[in-house]
A and B are shown apart, each in its own frame.
Chain A
Amino acid sequence: MKKEELPQDKSALAGVTREVCYVKDSNGKYTTGLSTGWEVKKDALDNAWDDIHQRVEEARLAVKNGEKSPVYYFMELKLMDLIVLSGYTSFWQFTIKKHMKPEVFKSLRDSKLSKYAKAFEISIEELKNFKG
């Protein structure tokens, strides 16, 4: 890629930083250039976020319909998966799966709920009272 071809599109990096890219100068030698972004990858990132929002919305509905517990919703909201949530709570993944069942969730003691609340950075009340 030539230096003058380096895209300078709008992206989420605006106002934060520009990124270094390796490009060729007019003599055909490598140099670096700064780019504000590239539309192609901005679209990819936007798509990924659309998907996240959709997943969060589906999780909200699942809680509302009594299919899943709030643990599931907040896991999606915080972009986590079972591996990450297991890391933050030190619960086993299969334990977390159980806690995602509404009837099991209802019986959880505060000591366990507090681990989730901490991982999601919310209060125990917010976690317990989330109805979708």
Chain B
Amino acid sequence: MAKKFKHIQTAHCENGVATSLLRYHGLDYVTEPLVFGMGSGLFYLHIPFLTISNGPAITYRTMPGAIFNRACKALGVKVQRKKFSTEEAARIYLDQKVKEGIPVGCQVGVFNLPYFPPEYRFHFNAHNLIVYGKEQGAYLVSDPVMENVTKLSEEEMLKVRFAKGPLAPKGHVYFAESIGEVTNEMLKKGIVKGIRRNTRDMLHIPGNIGGVDGIKYTAKKIRIWRDKLGVRKAGLYLGQIVRMQEEIGTGGGGFRYIYAAFLEEASNYLNNDKLLQVSEDFTKAGDLWRQSAIQMGRIYKGRLNDQKCYNECADLLDEISGIEKEAFKKLAKMKL
């Protein structure tokens, strides 16, 4: 007998799919911050020489798919994933799962996603949604970033599942296969492991473009953009940073607030008040990220554009890098 699927709105799509699917399978205490933290979701990376949509390639979170995989692994949940070489095979498989009453996560491109506002439809192929049923030929869709559930026709669904370009989904579907008993001990272990791995990623990634050093790298670049790119292009670059950082899906402050919320939850699970202090550090970091967005906004709106303003943005990023470095160092030293 199929259980009733409940739509849950979250900040980020992948966290949301993970949260919804795990809760559907009975783990009703699972929250978005918990999934994000156990999946070591917080990150920073500025890839040099690569431009995306004619702007800098920057990410504030870990690679697609990793959060869901890691969180499930920690909870002993087996994940089944499948990609397809033909649209027909992808459709048949999804229909079969729907018939079996299994809610399925789907990776899709947003360019042809009809319920998204046109302004948001770029060729971005790592969006995630859940298909939880089919009615009169249309799929019932729970898109975690949407307030309400929606529908997609067969044709629309195939189109978004077979979007092309970077990270092309190739019909990618995934779902939780077997869920055993999740003990409190597993949960605690998962939280600690999530924190340790995240600390390692942010403090010790080799090179200077990732983790807390990566934030400094971006600051350095911002200082030269005005001279190197000219006012117009530099403004567009700053705009792209702000969009990556604040657009729908990040929970605000480039995922830093979600991480702070996770540490607050973690302090409850682990009965450790020190985690609350570090949570405060990430709240501070999130606030400063937003402050830097406001400063960048003044530039790309054309209100300000002398070099001093660019330096102020860069100074803020340097400060954030320092705060996050200290916060992760505290976590590294902490006995958990």
B126 within 8 A of A: no
Contact A18 B147 (CB under 8 A): yes
With CB as the reference atom, state the residue of chain B lying closest to A33: B252
Contact A44 B297 (CB under 8 A): yes
Specify which of A30, A39, A49, A79 is in contact with B260 (CB 8 Å cutoff). Answer: A30
With known contacts A12-B117, A47-B300, A84-B123, A17–B164 Cβ distance under 8 A: no
Nearest 7 pairs of A and B residues by beta carbon? A87-B164, A84-B165, A44-B239, A22-B257, A30-B261, A12-B119, A40-B297
Q: How far is the CB of A19 from chain B (nearest CB, A)?
A: 4
With known contacts A16-B117, A29-B264, A87-B165, A48–B252 Cβ distance under 8 A: no
- 21 A-B pairs in the complex with CB atoms less than 8 angstroms apart: A1-B287, A12-B118, A17-B145, A17-B148, A20-B9, A22-B261, A24-B283, A30-B33, A41-B243, A41-B247, A41-B297, A43-B239, A45-B239, A47-B236, A47-B239, A48-B55, A48-B239, A48-B243, A51-B54, A80-B165, A84-B165
Kindly supply a per-residue 1/0 record for chain B positions 300-336, scoring 1 wherever the CB is within 8 Å of any chain A CB and 0 otherwise: 1100000000000000000000000000000000000
Please, which residues of chain B bring their CB within 8 A of the CB of A17?
A: 145-148
Interface residues of A in 1-57 (CB under 8 A from B): 1, 12-13, 16-24, 29-30, 32, 34, 38-41, 43-45, 47-49, 51
Number of contacting residues on A, CB 8 A? 33
With CB as the reference atom, state the residue of chain B lying closest to A21: B252
With known contacts A43-B301, A47-B239, A22–B11 Cβ distance under 8 A: yes
Question: A23, A51, A80, A88 — which one has the most chain B CB atoms within 10 A of its CB?
Answer: A51
If over half of A's interface residues share one DSSP class (helix, strand or loop), that class is named, otherwise mixed; here it is: mixed
With known contacts A30-B33, A40-B293, A47-B235, A87–B168 Cβ distance under 8 A: yes
A83 within 8 A of B: yes
With the chains together, A12 CA to B118 CA distance in Å?
Answer: 8
B246 within 8 A of A: yes
Interface residues of A in 109-128 (CB under 8 A from B): none
Specify which of B53, B111, B258 is in contact with A48 (CB 8 Å cutoff). Answer: B53
Contact A48 B9 (CB under 8 A): no
With CB as the reference atom, state the residue of chain B lying closest to A22: B257
B194 within 8 A of A: no
B294 within 8 A of A: yes
With CB as the reference atom, state the residue of chain B lying closest to A44: B239
With the chains together, A37 CA to B252 CA distance in Å?
Answer: 11
Interface residues of A in 60-92 (CB under 8 A from B): 79-80, 83-84, 87-88
Number of contacting residues on B, CB 8 A? 55
Q: How far is the CB of B35 from chain A (nearest CB, A)?
A: 13
With known contacts A13-B248, A34-B147, A49–B166 Cβ distance under 8 A: no
With the chains together, A3 CA to B235 CA distance in Å?
Answer: 30
With CB as the reference atom, state the residue of chain B lying closest to A15: B117
Contact A22 B147 (CB under 8 A): no
With CB as the reference atom, state the residue of chain A lying closest to B241: A44
Please, which residues of chain B bring their CB within 8 A of the CB of A88?
A: 164-165
Kindly supply a per-residue 1/0 record for chain B positions 102-136, scoring 1 wherever the CB is within 8 Å of any chain A CB and 0 otherwise: 00000000010001111110110000000000000
Q: How far is the CB of B110 from chain A (nearest CB, A)?
A: 11
Kindly supply a per-residue 1/0 record for chain B positions 260-286, scoring 1 wherever the CB is within 8 Å of any chain A CB and 0 otherwise: 110011000000000000010001001
With the chains together, A16 CA to B117 CA distance in Å?
Answer: 7
Q: How far is the CB of A6 from chain B (nearest CB, A)?
A: 8
With CB as the reference atom, state the residue of chain A lying closest to B111: A79
With the chains together, A23 CA to B265 CA distance in Å?
Answer: 14
Q: How far is the CB of A50 from chain B (nearest CB, A)?
A: 9
Contact A44 B260 (CB under 8 A): no
Extra pairs beyond A19-B11, A24-B283, A41-B297 (4, CB < 8 Å) = A21-B11, A22-B11, A34-B147, A44-B297
With the chains together, A17 CA to B13 CA distance in Å?
Answer: 14
Please, which residues of chain A bring their CB within 8 A of the CB of B146?
A: 16-17
Please, which residues of chain B bring their CB within 8 A of the CB of A87?
A: 164-165, 168
Specify which of A1, A18, A83 is in contact with B252 (CB 8 Å cutoff). Answer: A1
Please, which residues of chain B bring their CB within 8 A of the CB of A40?
A: 242, 246, 293-294, 296-297
With CB as the reference atom, state the residue of chain A lying closest to B256: A22
